[in-house]
Amino acid sequence: MARVKLYSTPTCPYCRIAKGFLEEQGVDFEVVDVSRDEKAALEMVDKSGQMGVPVLEVGETIIVGFDRNTYRKALEQAGLLSP
């Protein structure tokens, strides 16, 4: 099963929305606070090409920002949500 990771910061309002969405869907995910973990921040930039958060990683899929439909599609394709 695909691993889900959410790169975020405590002050990011879209990160809170993204976390809430994942929790509502019952998705098991890891939250990575890039404001406290420089190595994780560099990893996020390397994977996404972006410095902004949130960045969602679903298996090999990287999504920058929060878009409910895009998140849902990636989770469905990974077999983590039913269509």
Query: What are the backbone dihedrals phi and psi of residue 5, each rounded to the nearest 5 degrees, phi first?
Result: -135, 135
For residue 83, the model assigns a pLDDT of 79
Q: What does the domain layout of the chain look like in residue ranges?
A: 4-77
- Per-residue pLDDT averaged across 6-15, rounded? 97
Average pLDDT, the chain: 95
- Per-residue pLDDT averaged across 12-26, rounded? 97
Query: Beta-strand (E) ranges in 1-83?
Result: 4-8, 30-33, 55-58, 61-64
User: pLDDT category, 2, cuts 50, 70, 90?
Assistant: confident
For residue 82, the model assigns a pLDDT of 86
If phi over 0 gives left and psi between -120 and 50 gives alpha, with beta otherwise, what is residue 64? beta
* Whole-prediction pTM: 0.94
The highest-level CATH class for domain 4-77 is alpha beta
- Per-residue pLDDT averaged across 31-54, rounded? 96
